[in-house]
């Protein structure tokens, strides 16, 4: 199940992504990539930055998703009701 952890932000777009650890750093899966079980286009490498299909790219940043207390309470209610 796709559960985004961060937002990938470029100059024109904000995309929810899920970070998955890999030997070279982190892979950034979008919902479409996750649903199709295909390899992600973006990866984040420690000290090297963002890469798209192996090519370094600039102008991107990553921000954690904000979890509100309402969302946390709703997920706890769902978990306890099952």
pLDDT in tens, the chain (82 residues): 899 999 999 999 999 999 999 998 999 999 999 999 999 999 999 899 999 999 999 999 999 998 765 555 555 544 544 5
Please state the pTM of the whole predicted model.
0.74
CA atoms in the 13 A half-sphere facing the CB of 47: 0
C-alpha to C-alpha distance for 82 and 80, rounded to whole angstroms? 6
């Amino acid at each position: 199940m796709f559960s985004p952890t961060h937002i990938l932000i470029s100059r024109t777009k904000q995309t929810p992504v899920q970070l998955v650890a890999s030997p070279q750093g982190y892979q950034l899966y979008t919902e479409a990539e996750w649903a199709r079980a295909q390899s992600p286009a973006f990866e984040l490498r420690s000290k090297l930055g963002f890469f798209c299909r192996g090519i370094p790219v600039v102008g991107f940043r990553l921000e954690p998703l904000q979890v509100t207390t309402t969302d946390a309470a709703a997920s706890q209610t769902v978990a306890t009701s099952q």
